[in-house]
Amino acid sequence: MSGRAASAQVLIAGNPNCGKSTLFNALSGGSAHVGNYPGVTVDRTTARVQLSAQDIELVDVPGMYSLTAGSPEEQLAINALLEGNTRAVICVVDATTLERGLYLALQLIESGVPVVVALNMMDAAERLGFRVDTERLSQLFGAPVIPVVATKRSGLDALRAALERQLGPAGGEHALDVSYPLTLEANVDDLIPAIAQWRPATPRRQLRVFALWCLLSLGDDSLRDVPEAVRKAVDDVRAAASAEGRDLDLEIISARYAWIDAALTEACSVQAAPPPLSERIDRVLTHPIVGLLAFAVVMLGIFEALFAGAEPLIGAIERLTALMQAQAQVLLPAGVLQDLVVEGIIAGVGNVVVFAPQILMLFLFIGFLEDSGYLARVAFVIDRVMKGVGLHGKAFVPLLSGFACAVPAVMATRTIERRRDRLVTMLALPLMSCSARLPVYILVVGTVFAGQSFGWFSAGAIALFSMYTLSVLVTLAAAAVIRRTVLPGPAPTFVLEMPPYRWPSARILWINAWRRLRIFLVDAGTIILAMTILLWALLSFPKSAGVTEHYAVERERVEQMALSDAEKAETLQSLDAQEASEQLANSLGGRFGHAIEPALRPIGFDWQIGVGIIGAFAAREVFISTLGVVFGIGEADEQNKPLREALRDARHADGTPVMTPLSGISLMVFFLLACQCMSTIAVVRRESGSWKWPVFLFSYMTVLAYVASLAVYQGGRLLGYG
């Protein structure tokens, strides 16, 4: 856009559920760019929008009810407002809940920034019998109020025109004056000197607004960068007021609502209307019996989508990865480069892309639940259960998704509003027994419990049932403990708006799910790819020249033996597998497995299982193929008979078998509890915004897994098993 001035930044703000994202997408044509606000894990979605005379950069601010901030996340909006290059704000107000939406608009207009109020969902409001005189409302608020229906893209031209006027020289000229009580005005005057020092060269009008903001926000906040002098001044004023029996929060907020109520009496009328459709739907969906049934069906639907629905796509991606690996093996000469491409790069990209189907499915599903309004009902129905362990009702869907895969589940925690609640959920849910653990259970059960049964049930069924039960109990216990120790703080309050039911737009659902997937592929994907290559190197180097030479000689010998071609091929294949096994034993990873064997013995494992556990860090199911290599079997899956036999035949140095029912249980418990998944680490890094939390997650789960396995194995031995 040469020749045009640098584009002005325009924020788009509004209450949660007011249709802000829909309007954002309607204005931007879906061409948004998602970044990250520095320091906090809130997506910063921006888009370039062309107006008739200029381009603007439209920034989607997280949904909020007011500018009051208690946490760094909530501070984003106010920071963005204070940024010098914010030229105007579009405040989206749901016309069906005018008063609450206008409370935010009032604060924005009060701050002196040019505002355009987009009165969204006017059609729904009219059906409910609301009549709004937008012209009168514009006069009263000193800002253009434009009726729009974002889903139908109506009113957008008028909105753009009003925005352009507000961006011009006359923008923000009018301001509104709430009449606050005189005593409060005096308190504000007391604060001005401290605030003027913090924000020099700010007009007095803004200083006043900022003083009000400090009075409401400071005191019980965790905000950064607030000068001590301002905190002290605010504390003094609040203390003096409360000594007089005054509640400053109440004074400020009631004065604003009184102003809004007065304005609406003038500009809005209500006619009798039928009870909203939502009310009738809710009579069914939150009914004590039918509601719980509906809830169970919807949750089963999510489950079905994640397990069965995503399965063919996951299979296709895995087949495609294998195909590309085979192709690379043909195209590239055998050697380190081929190995790097096949087992490092292609496997790594495969490890990333394989999550795509589940992430897309889960986010399409959650998007549907959220945009339709049912997600709030899910929280409403299940909160009673969740609050017992200190979790928010909205943590239920992410936890449940953890049964399928922790990666999309961790991403799903972003529906939880408060960062602390989100972190607790994110740190506990990797303990849910995900689908990648299942092959490990099946291998172990098939190895140590084959054909056994207790009473009516097979030993395998009992073992699997125990693992899943244990996983749920441990997850909830971990959440309760983390909430009380690592992330102490007030229990999550549950003040949740129950938005009216609306039919979600397929386009918006797709845009949002796609955006989430792209973030995963780029941010978490690079970490996963790097870790895959690192693991490959660990398990491949150093190569022992002696071993290579020995097997070259052996191969030569086989070639010259008087055998049929088929027999030769078979012998050569088993030589390959043996060589791979010896090279693995010699690699850094193999040596590391040996080195940690003394630590593994007390929980019933040997070095070979240790190498498997290291390999499993790429993904839990890799445990099995790594074991296949360790035991010199070659390609193996959990149903593989030779692998089961090799495991059964494995002996400790003293001749006792490695795999007993007891060490098998110990191994399953270890896999259930350990954070054997670098993708989870990568996605927690992305969603928590720092390495601190994934490191904590990995450490606590590893310690927990070790201690639990130790207790199982040693306890079992004391009782005479194994």
Select from 34, 176, 178, 253 the one that contacts other proteins (CB under 8 A).
253
Alpha carbons 645 and 680: distance in angstroms, whole number: 32
Q: Which stretch binds other proteins (CB under 8 A): 31-39, 249-257, 312-320, 681-689?
A: 249-257
Radius of gyration for the chain, computed over Cα atoms and rounded to the nearest angstrom? 31
Asked if 126 interacts with other proteins (CB under 8 A), we say no
Residue 290 and residue 221: Cα distance in Å, rounded? 42
Q: Comparing C-alpha atoms, which of 69, 61, 55 is closest to residue 24?
A: 61
Q: Please identify, among the stretches 51-59, 226-234, 497-505, 657-665, the one whose residues bind other proteins according to the rule CB under 8 A.
A: 497-505
> Is 415 a residue that touches other proteins (CB under 8 A)?
no
Instruction: Supply the DSSP symbol for 57.
Output: E
The distance of closest approach from Cβ of residue 475 to other proteins in the complex, given in angstroms and rounded to an integer, is 20
Contact between 576 and other proteins by CB under 8 A: the answer reads no
User: Counting contacts by CB under 8 A, is residue 65 touching other proteins?
Assistant: yes
Nearer to other proteins, 254 or 505 (CB): 254
Q: Does 524 bind other proteins (CB under 8 A)?
A: no
Q: How far is the CB of 197 from other proteins (least distance, A)?
A: 26
Closest alpha carbon to 604 in 661, 674, 645, 675:
661
Residue 288 lies near other proteins (rule: CB under 8 A) = yes
Select from 486-494, 544-552, 578-586, 635-643 the region that touches other proteins (CB under 8 A): 486-494
125 or 659, CB closer to other proteins? Answer: 125
Q: Residue 178 is encoded by which pair of tokens?
A: 């709430």
653 binds other proteins (CB under 8 A): no
Q: Does 108 bind other proteins (CB under 8 A)?
A: no
Taking CB under 8 A as the criterion, the residue among 7, 9, 96, 625 binding other proteins is 96
C-alpha angle 75-77-82 in degrees, rounded to nearest 5? 95
Q: Give the separation between CA 175 and CA 251, rounded to whole angstroms.
A: 21
- Which ranges constitute the DSSP H helices of 332-458? 336-339, 347-353, 356-372, 374-387, 396-401, 406-412, 419-428, 438-448
> What minimum distance in Å lies between the beta carbon of 673 and other proteins?
29
Contact partners, residue 99, CB within 8 Å, separation at least 6: 257, 260, 261, 264
* Coil vs helix vs strand at 237: helix
Phi, psi at 637, each rounded to 5°: -125, -175
For residues 234 and 463, which CB has a smaller minimum distance to other proteins in the complex? 234
User: Is 384 one of the binding residues for other proteins (CB under 8 A)?
Assistant: yes
Which among 296, 313, 295 is positioned nearest to 517, based on CA atoms?
313
Amino acid letter, 66: S
Binding mask 422-441 for other proteins (x = CB under 8 A): --------------------
Asked if 490 touches other proteins (CB under 8 A), the answer is: yes
Q: Please report how close the Cβ of residue 225 comes to other proteins at its closest, in angstroms.
A: 20
Q: Which is nearer to other proteins, 59 or 381 (CB)?
A: 381
| Sign of the Cα pseudo-torsion (86, 90, 91, 92, in order) | negative
User: Segment contacting other proteins (CB under 8 A): 65-73, 432-440, 616-624, 671-679?
Assistant: 65-73
Per CB under 8 A, 494 contacts other proteins: yes
Q: Is the separation of the CB atoms in 401 and 425 below 8 Å?
A: no
- Interface region with other proteins, contact rule CB under 8 A, candidates 54-62, 380-388, 567-575, 651-659: 380-388
Question: Of residues 5, 182, 201, 250, which one binds other proteins by CB under 8 A?
Answer: 250
Q: How far is the CB of 89 from other proteins (least distance, A)?
A: 18
> Exactly one of 35, 50, 99, 453 binds other proteins (CB under 8 A); which one?
99
Please identify, using beta-carbon distances, which residue of 209 and 474 lies nearer to other proteins.
209
What's the half-sphere exposure (Cβ side, CA atoms, 13 Å) at 8? 18
Instruction: Note whether 514 binds other proteins by CB under 8 A.
Output: no
Residue 133 binds to other proteins (criterion: CB under 8 A): no
Q: Write the single-letter amino acid at 584.
A: L
Nearest residue to 163 via CA among 284, 55, 64: 55
Binding to other proteins by residue 311, rule CB under 8 A?
A: no
Among 103, 520, 536, 670, binds other proteins (CB under 8 A): 103
Interface with other proteins includes 273 (CB under 8 A)? no
Other C-beta atoms closer than 10 Å to the C-beta of 277 total: 13
Q: What is the nearest approach in angstroms of other proteins to the Cβ of residue 27?
A: 25
Return all residues near 76 (Cβ < 8 A) that are at least 6 apart: 37, 40, 42, 61, 62
The Cα–Cα gap between 663 and 675 comes to 19
Q: Mask of contacts with other proteins, 594-633, x by CB under 8 A? A: ----------------------------------------
Coil, strand or helix: which one is 87? Answer: strand
Per-residue tokens: 690: 């720092």
Exposure on the CB side of residue 62, measured as CA atoms within 13 A: 22
- Give Cα separations from 440 to 624, 665, 667 (angstroms): 7, 11, 9
Asked if residue 111 binds other proteins (CB under 8 A), the reply is no
Residue 270: CB atoms within 10 Å: 11
* C-alpha count within 13 angstroms, C-beta hemisphere, residue 54: 18
If one asks whether residue 257 binds other proteins (CB under 8 A), the answer comes out as: yes
* 280 lies in the site for other proteins, by CB under 8 A: no
Closest separation in Å from C-beta 291 to other proteins? 5
Q: Does 219 bind other proteins (CB under 8 A)?
A: yes
Residues that bind other proteins (CB under 8 A): 65-66, 68, 70, 96-100, 103, 128, 216, 219-220, 249-250, 253-254, 257, 278-279, 282, 286-289, 291-292, 376, 379-385, 387, 393, 490, 493-500
